Chains A and B, each alone.
Chain A
Amino acid sequence: MSDESALLREPWFDFGRQREAGKFGIWVFLGSEMLFFGALLLTYTVCRIEHPDAFAAAGRATNIWYGTINTAVLLTSSLTMAMASQAAASPARLRRLVLACLLATALLGLAFVVIKGFEYKEDIDKHLVPGAGFALPQPGAQLFYGLYWLVTGVHAVHLSIGIVLVGRLFWEFYRRELPTQANPELEITALYWHLVDIVWIFLYPLIYLPGRSS
């Protein structure tokens, strides 16, 4: 009960309603995020239908190892995030498990950003930035890489926000400023983290897998 009174915020009188409203709010936000990334992926789809061969050649020029390893890193971060959220929601007191899983999630997120940084460095060295001196001859390949930089960049910004949010929760829980059990901020952060993971799940086949079989 003391946990609940420490977590209850204006304007709610009832903690159960506060939790439900928080979840509903983040899902509405995630719906708008789906449409935001959806519009970018729709642009990709239309460009790919117009330039199938150029997109195959451009996809083949990406580094599949960076892409596959980063997908595995992000899927694992979703595991630790889900563990943190479910451990906090569990009636058993699992504060240390919550802390460990939050730290692991933030570190896996950081690992993703670092690996992506190495990949960006390699892309720049291989002249895969659209514009003068672009590496591939097909004009459509520049469309692919224009979208590649835009979508992966926006995704990296989202992930960085997630790392800050998860890191902040870890720090507050570590200093015992907030109770971990049934904490709505943790549930909401977890939902955001998983959506950023889902965006990457779709980016993986669209960016790294085209043209591998031809």
Chain B
Amino acid sequence: MSAPPGHATGAGRLWRKNLVIWAALLALLLLSLGIAYVPMGRITVAAGIVIAVMKSALVLLLFMELAKSGSLIRLAAIAGLVFLIAMFGLALTDVLTRT
């Protein structure tokens, strides 16, 4: 369809976009590794999980292209999240309020 110059720009644009996301993911990985050694009690634990949420948001929105998917696809993805939150929410309201 397109001539060889078109190839180079198409591939180059894809690499530039995705390498930025990859660099952000690796930076977050190193950040969570570093924070794990800082003694802040519960904040240290929370930081590890918050960073994992940030990393998976990058993968979900950009690598899995949820950010530009149609509403049907988004709904299917959100349905998974909603039931996950319900499961954790219901179980932890019991476990965390035991005396």
Residues of A in contact with B (beta carbons under 8 Å apart): 20, 23-24, 27-28, 30-32, 34-35, 38-39, 42, 45-46, 49-50, 64, 68, 71-72, 75-76, 78-79, 81-83, 86-87, 90-94, 97, 190-191, 194-195, 197-198, 201-202, 204-206, 209-210, 212-214
**Interchain CB contact under 8 A, A198 and B59:** yes
Asked if A24 and B73 sit within 8 Å, CB to CB, the answer is yes
Q: Which residues of A contact B6 (CB under 8 A)?
A: 92
Q: Given that A79-B21, A194-B63 are contacting pairs, would A31 and B91 also be in contact in the complex, using a CB cutoff of 8 Å?
A: no
Please name all residues of chain A whose beta carbon is closer than 8 Å to the beta carbon of B26 when the two chains form the complex: 72, 75
Q: Which of B28-44 contact A (CB under 8 A)?
A: 29, 32-33, 36-40, 44
Distance in angstroms between the alpha carbons of A212 and B36 in the assembled complex: 6
Q: Which residue, A32, A64, A83, has most C-beta atoms of chain B within 10 A? A: A83
DSSP class of A's interface residues: helix, strand, loop or mixed?
A: helix
**Least CB distance, A53 to chain B, in whole angstroms:** 13
Question: Which chain B positions have C-beta within 8 A of A81?
Answer: 63
Roughly how many angstroms separate A45 CA and B94 CA in the complex, as a whole number?
Answer: 13
CB of A149 to closest CB in B, whole Å = 21
CB of A205 within 8 A of CB of B36, answer: yes
Task: Point out the residue from A20, A38, A82, A204 that lies within 8 Å of B84, measured CB to CB.
Answer: A38
Chain B contact residue count (CB 8 A cutoff): 53
Task: Assess the B59–A78 pair: CB atoms within 8 A.
Answer: yes
Known: A24-B72, A197-B59, A213-B44. A64 touches B33 (CB 8 A): yes
Interface residues of B in 12-50 (CB under 8 A from A): 14-15, 18-19, 21-22, 25-26, 29, 32-33, 36-40, 44-45, 48-49
Are A90 and B10 in contact, CB atoms less than 8 angstroms apart? yes
* Partner among B10, B40, B76, B87 whose Cβ is within 8 Å of the Cβ of A31: B76
